[in-house]
Amino acid sequence: MKKLSIILLFGLIAFQGIGQTNSSKQQRLQWWQEAKMGLFIHWGPVSLIGKEISWSRNGYGKSKYDSLYLRFNPKQFNAKEWVKLAKAGGMKYLVLTSKHHDGFCLFDTKTTPYNIMNSPFGRDVCKELAQAAHEAGMPIGWYFSVADWKDPDCRNPKTNDIFADRVEQQVRELLTNYGKISLLWIDYEGSPSPIHPKRVFDLARTLQPEIIINNRLEPFNPDESHARVGAYADYATPEGFVAGYGAVPWETCTNMGHQWAWRFNDTPRSLKESLHTLLRCVGGNGNLLFNIGPDSSGVFPPNFVARATEMGNWLNKNAEAVYETKGGIYTPSKDYVSSYRGNTLYLHLLNNTGDEIKLPPMAAKVKKASLLNGNAISFTQTKADVTLKIPQNGRDSIATIVTITLDKPASKLGQIIPFTTTNSLAYGKKATASSSMGAFLHDPTAAFDDNPATHWKMGRRTDVDFERYYGQDVHYQSEKAFDLFQNKGWIEVDLGTLQTIKQLKVSEAVYQKSQIKRFEIQYERDGQWLTVAQDEKMGNWSKDISPVVAQKFRLVILDSHGFAGIREFQLF
């Protein structure tokens, strides 16, 4: 009995330890969502020639590109200076390209000689940066490409299993040898992962139980990498753009300059554009991973350092309205975004809106309003709107922030969409679809949000076993990849009440080879769907019709090619 009790005791301790370590997804994501912005660092031997990392390999010449590491010797690399830059810029975490698609490893790996230890530099960059980040109390993560364009085993039908084992070993090294790693940023480069996503996901969770992992282990096309959060992911990663409000955790990755890797004579984006990119992420309830590429000596360009420092200085003054907030309750518009904490709503005015701004009504009482510096401003609140008077004195050249104190927690109010800019009767109404490519950006609501940067796209076929395609060379622009996704489907809007419709408008999201070939627009009457218009070409399509009175309308795609999508479906 005593022996059994001891066994049960140790079992209970072990179980409790697992439960405490493997925290819930929400708990794991909390620090990251509060951090708002991280520094993305794309770097490697390619910085010697100032061309884009990996993507320039073919054009430059594979053998020449692959030999660059033999003269890569960034003698001025100082990990503490890199961390110092991130802190000065208001970035709260770091992500470094430990291995990009070109296969070069910035860490001491036993899996391939194509790594930093065999360069003239001969020092483990990942080790030094991780140590510096840990000393500064800054979370660090690794960017990691599961594919390798230099490795002949990658997606080779005969030897891909060997390659997959090598990838797993590299992940094991990265998550074992460098202390706590807070984030694993997998990249997708056009074909399904050569290693099954579950292997990487489970290994990472085992080695670093609190790690968060982006969504690029599973995609079969770029739109999925932007918007779809599958079983082996914590958050979505739109790239190069900010669009709308995210119903799932998300992070835009984009450049402060104009290339991921360092390039000759590059210039940073303006302070206003840089900060507006961040604020639009914050207002959309997302994060920004802002990239700066160091040069071949290991130093960040002085003009980029200056821009990052300017950002940090502005953020220090306005930190209350940015960090540790949630996006909303007003979802982003052209002129403003908002964030909140508790009973306080922060309205970030991004453009010169004149002496006043009108906001949609809210189900809470505004107790007071002031500029972030404390100066009170006048306001009126009715059932139709909330109007704020914005004084000329105290405005900020980047973003004027108004603090609004409510009589209840903002989290209880839901999300409030901006006033329509098109007057479409379908704007913001309840939307459903036969399928969709992601939980935001490409979900049904994206076709009714007056935002051309978002668009609904049909999702995966349900009769396809996607698991068997991992390890295969199936490029997303190929017919084989197109065939994995729906080419027929429908999107429906419920107007809430009977409405008289006289005009229809639809705009197509045309992406490379995608196109909608045949479609119908229908309305519901007595439980039946009746066709009111049809065509064989979309683009930017509109049609005046004899008045139709109905509550529900559908756009039915009867035939399409590629990854066709709908930017806006509007009713007037």
How big is the chain by its Cα radius of gyration, in Å? 26
Claim to verify: residue 373 and residue 310 sit in the same structural domain:
no
- For residue 233, with 0-12 CB atoms within 10 Å meaning exposed, 13-18 middle and 19 or more buried, which class applies? buried
User: Would residue 501 count as lying in a domain?
Assistant: yes
Claim to verify: residue 380 and residue 465 sit in the same structural domain:
no
- b/e for 24-52, b at 16 or more Cβ within 10 A? eeeebbebbbebbbbbbbbbbbbbbbbbb
User: Would residue 498 count as lying in a domain?
Assistant: yes
Q: Please write the tens of the pLDDT for every residue from 99-154.
A: 999 999 999 999 999 999 999 999 999 999 999 999 999 999 999 999 999 999 99
Strand positions, DSSP E, 215-257? 251-255
Contact 519, 538 (CB under 8 A): yes
User: Would residue 97 count as lying in a domain?
Assistant: yes
Contact 158, 112 (CB under 8 A): no
CA geometry: angle 91, 410, 38, nearest 5 deg: 10
Whole-number Å distance between alpha carbons of 393 and 365: 26
Pull the structure tokens for residue 502: 């006289």
Claim to verify: residue 155 and residue 251 sit in the same structural domain:
yes
What count of other Cβ atoms lies within 10 Å of the Cβ of residue 176? Answer: 11
Per-residue pLDDT, 21: 35
Beta bridge partners of 528: 525
Claim to verify: residue 56 and residue 126 sit in the same structural domain:
yes
Q: Please write the tens of the pLDDT for every residue from 401-425.
A: 999 999 999 999 999 999 999 999 9
What is the count of structural domains for the chain? 3
- pLDDT for 16 beyond 60: no
SS (H, E, C) 416-436: ECCCCCCCCCCCCCEEEECCC
Claim to verify: residue 246 and residue 217 sit in the same structural domain:
yes
Whole-number Å distance between alpha carbons of 551 and 529: 12
pTM for the predicted model, two decimal places: 0.94
Q: Which residue has the higher pLDDT, 412 or 453?
A: 412
Expressed as residue numbers, the domain containing 565 is 430-571
User: Would residue 243 count as lying in a domain?
Assistant: yes
User: Would residue 289 count as lying in a domain?
Assistant: yes
Whole-number Å distance between alpha carbons of 15 and 305: 47
Domain end among 368, 386, 412: 412
CATH classification of the domain holding 407: 2.60.40.1180
Per-residue pLDDT, 42: 98
Per-residue pLDDT, 540: 94
Whole-number Å distance between alpha carbons of 115 and 129: 16
Beta bridge partners of 559: 518
Claim to verify: residue 440 and residue 513 sit in the same structural domain:
yes
DSSP 116: G
Residue whose C-alpha is closest to residue 240's, from 455, 459, 453: 453
Residues in the chain: 572
Sign of the torsion angle spanned by Cα atoms 381, 384, 385, 389: negative
Contact 47, 297 (CB under 8 A): no
User: Would residue 140 count as lying in a domain?
Assistant: yes
User: Would residue 13 count as lying in a domain?
Assistant: no
